[in-house]
Amino acid sequence: MPADFPSVPVTRVVSGIQPTGNLHLGNLLGAILRWVKMQDDAPCFFFLADLHSLSEHVPAEVRRANIREMAAALIASGIDPAKSVLFVQSAVPAHAELCWLLNGTARMGWLSRMTQWKDKSGKNKEGASVALFDYPVLQAADILVYRPSHVPVGEDQKQHIELTRDIAIKFNTDCDVDLFIPPEPYIGGGTAARVMSLRDGTAKMSKSDPSDMSRINLIDDDDTIASKIRKARTDPDPLPSELEGLDGRPEARNLVGIMAAATDRSEQDVLRDFAGQGFGAFKPVLADALIALLAPIRSRLVELRSDAAALDAHLSDGAQRAREAAAPTLAAAKQALGLL
Ligand code: TYM
């Protein structure tokens, strides 16, 4: 059984994405394609983490546009609002309310050790927002309020899910209840757990990288995709026949991982096809595979974008269903804490 195969039955799935600009290939291959597949396994709750996006200032009209754009991108990628509960986090007040309750459980030391906090606050901790520091507690609330069995995310979110487990266990112990289910991070499972920058195989592909050449965006046209792959950093050696041959070759490993996830194959299968060949042969095939994956999503996105009323209707229906699902857990948490 692969290491990333769910070890407990999938009974309920929860995950979120920040609505900060475009969806990129890292989000898609690291998380969203997995979400799409899980829709048929169990009830799924997927949300746009607009409250999380408050950790950085963004003008109101930009945030509003980003939320709709991300909702459209998720639906275009295959999230079906009739199957999954798709909603905006701030439309379900139980997330923020439970976050406050869990602030009594989470420890300063735990949050200070979070890599994201250390990276994003950098040397200016005094100037960082409280929301940035408290971000993982809100993420714990997002998850625990639905009592899911699984949280499909990319590798970069693993530490936050582990913190969620710690918060769940401490709350249950402190209050002597069996309320929160420590969730399993579900990383990989046929998707690329960690998609790296096309310019530097040791840095994560991310929307905050200043170089647009480092990532492929959902809205990039076919020529842009082909050009970004053509210019992607590689090394001069041919591709190996075995996975170990990618050790110490981060850029080669990244492109093989992207090809595997984009074509729903294992990395070993990809190497079987390309062993002994150089990147001159590999890159055009990779570009074609990405265009085949992204072009239909992009054209659906363009269509969905033009109907804001339909998008808002999906989100409002999702929020109603999410509020109903979250209410009993919030009530039980209040009761466990002695709130009247
Ligand atoms: P966010 O918005 O940064 O990313 C959304 C999802 O995409 C994955 N991802 C990647 N996977 C592989 N390679 C990459 N280069 C890459 N970049 C992004 C992320 O791991 C994530 O799964 N804190 C979360 C949002 C969140 C959340 C939650 C997630 C808020 N509450 C509760 C799960 C459960 C975030 O900022 O993801």
| CATH at residue 249 | 1.10.240.10
- Match 């798709």 to its residue by tokens: 86
Computed on alpha carbons and rounded to an integer, the radius of gyration of the chain in Å comes to 20
Q: Whose CA is nearest to atom 18 of ligand 1?
A: 27
Strand arrangement of the beta sheet that strand 184-186 belongs to: 85-88, 44-48, 13-17, 150-152, 184-186
186 in the same domain as 328: yes
Domain assignment present for residue 198? The answer is no
Residue 130 and residue 174 in one domain: yes
Q: Are residues 232 and 255 in contact, defined by beta-carbon separation less than 8 angstroms?
A: yes
In this structure, are residues 179 and 102 in contact, taking their beta carbons and an 8 Å threshold? no
> Are 312 and 297 part of one and the same domain?
no
Q: Determine the distance separating the centroid of ligand 1 and the alpha carbon of 244, expressed in angstroms.
A: 28
Q: Are residues 137 and 232 in the same domain?
A: no
Is 228 catalytic? The answer is no
- The answer to the question of residue 278 being in a domain is yes
Does one domain contain both 58 and 85? Answer: yes
Q: Is residue 29 part of a domain?
A: yes
* Domains of the chain: total: 2
Q: Do 286 and 331 belong to one domain? A: no
Nearest-atom index, ligand 1, CA of 160: 23
Long-range contacts of 120-125 (CB under 8 A, 24+ apart): 120/55
Same domain, 294 and 234: yes
- Cα 131 to ligand 1 centre (Å): 17
Which domain range does residue 108 map to? 13-192+308-337
Mutate to test the pocket of ligand 1, among 27, 92, 199 (most ligand atoms within 8 A of CB): 27
Is 207 domain-assigned? no
Does residue 257 sit in the same domain as residue 273? yes
Please check whether residue 200 lies inside any domain of the structure: no
The span from the CA of 231 to the CA of 283, in Å, is 9
* Ligand 1: centre distance to CA 17 (Å): 5
**Same domain as 284, residue 136:** no
- At position 298, the amino acid (one-letter code) is R
Q: What span, in angstroms and rounded, lies between the C-alpha atoms of 18 and 23?
A: 9
Residues with CB under 6 A from ligand 1: 14-18, 26-27, 30-31, 49, 52, 139, 142-143, 151, 153-154, 156-157, 194-195, 204-206
The residue from 37, 120, 170, 334 that is catalytic is: 120
110 shares its domain with 149: yes
Tokens encoding 162: 């582990």
CATH number at residue 333: 3.40.50.620
- Is 54 part of a structural domain of the chain? yes
User: Is residue 202 a part of any domain in this protein?
Assistant: no
| 248 Cα to the center of ligand 1, angstroms | 26
Query: Catalytic site residue 204?
Result: yes
Among protein residues, the one with the nearest Cα to ligand 1's atom 33 is 15
Identify the residue whose C-alpha is closest to ligand 1 atom 31.
Answer: 139
pLDDT 10s digits, 161-216: 999 999 999 999 999 999 999 988 888 766 677 999 999 999 999 998 999 999 99
CA distance linking residue 238 with residue 2, whole number of Å: 28
List the chain pLDDT tens, one digit each, 340 residues.
Answer: 333 556 678 899 999 999 987 899 999 999 999 999 999 989 999 999 999 999 989 999 999 999 999 999 999 999 999 999 999 999 999 999 999 999 999 999 999 999 999 999 999 999 999 999 999 999 999 999 999 999 999 999 999 999 999 999 999 999 999 999 998 888 876 667 799 999 999 999 999 899 999 999 999 999 999 999 999 999 999 999 999 999 999 999 999 999 999 999 999 999 999 999 999 999 999 999 999 999 999 999 999 999 999 999 999 999 999 999 999 999 999 999 999 8
* pTM recorded for the entire structure: 0.95
320 and 298 co-located in one domain: no
Q: Is the same domain home to 183 and 319?
A: yes
The verdict on residue 313 lying in a domain is: yes
Looking up tokens 């408050």 gives 54
